[in-house]
A = this chain, B = another copy of it.
Amino acid sequence: MTNILLTGFEPFDQDTVNPSWEVARALADWTLEVDGVSARVHARQLPCVFGQASEVLRQAMQELQPQLVVCLGLAGTRSDITPERVAINVDDARIPDNAGAQPIDQSVVADGPVAYWSTLPIKAIARDLRTAGIPVSVSNTAGSFVCNHVFYALMHALAGQGLAARGGFVHLPLLPQQAARIPGAPSMALSTQVEGIQVLLRTALTVRDDVQETAGKLH
């Protein structure tokens, strides 16, 4: 049995719901068969708090010893599902987190490297979601708030373990009921988001070497 750790955040900034947790929750205990081996999703909620979020993540990783870790977060202005390419070693908060902290230009990990690559096959993921009819694009920035914080902490932990476990971060759009209160905001139905993450998890377990397919951005 392969363990998959799938995390989502609690709501933040006046919201009452967070699609990242709704998707993770919807996929709790979902099992998929890959090459004759069963893999099971373990869903965990992270607080939207610098420090605490990565601590809860580390505890879940220790407990579950997952072969695959995918952390989900909300990107409220994006229209599509965006696997992130790179995590950077900085906390720079435009608004306070759920505990009221607002760090500016602090390291996620003191003396850590500037950045880590995602170890998910992000190009194959983009290809497979597109084939499934689900809007997707590779992103080159996870921002500098709690999402990037968790992403960096995840990759730092995986790099330190020297394990074969794969991990990465994926941003999700708003849910329609959230966008209904924000004029012009794009959104994606929960069912589409859940289907997209199902495709993503299967690809992440299946594709060893990422495909050579451009997802480059000019800027």
Residues A80 and B217 in contact, CB atoms below 8 Å apart:
no
Give residues 56-82 of A contacting B (CB, 8 Å): 73-80
Number of interface residues of A (CB under 8 A): 66
Contact of A144 among B115, B130, B134, B140 (CB under 8 A): B140
- For A186-209 the 0/1 string (1 means CB < 8 A from B) is 111101100000000000000000
Question: A92 in the interface, Cβ–Cβ < 8 Å?
Answer: yes
Tell me if A79 and B218 are in contact (CB < 8 A): no
Contact A105 B218 (CB under 8 A): no
Contact, CB under 8 Å: A145 / B114: no
CB pair B104–A214 under 8 Å, yes or no, is yes
A85, B143: Cα distance in complex, Å:
11
- Asked whether A102 is an interface residue with its Cβ less than 8 Å from the other chain, the reply is yes
Once the chains bind, are A214 and B135 in contact (CB under 8 Å)?
no
Which A residues form the contact surface with B (CB < 8 A)?
73-80, 85-86, 88, 90-95, 102, 104-105, 113-117, 123, 129-130, 132-137, 140-145, 147-148, 171, 176-177, 179-181, 183-189, 191-192, 210, 212-219
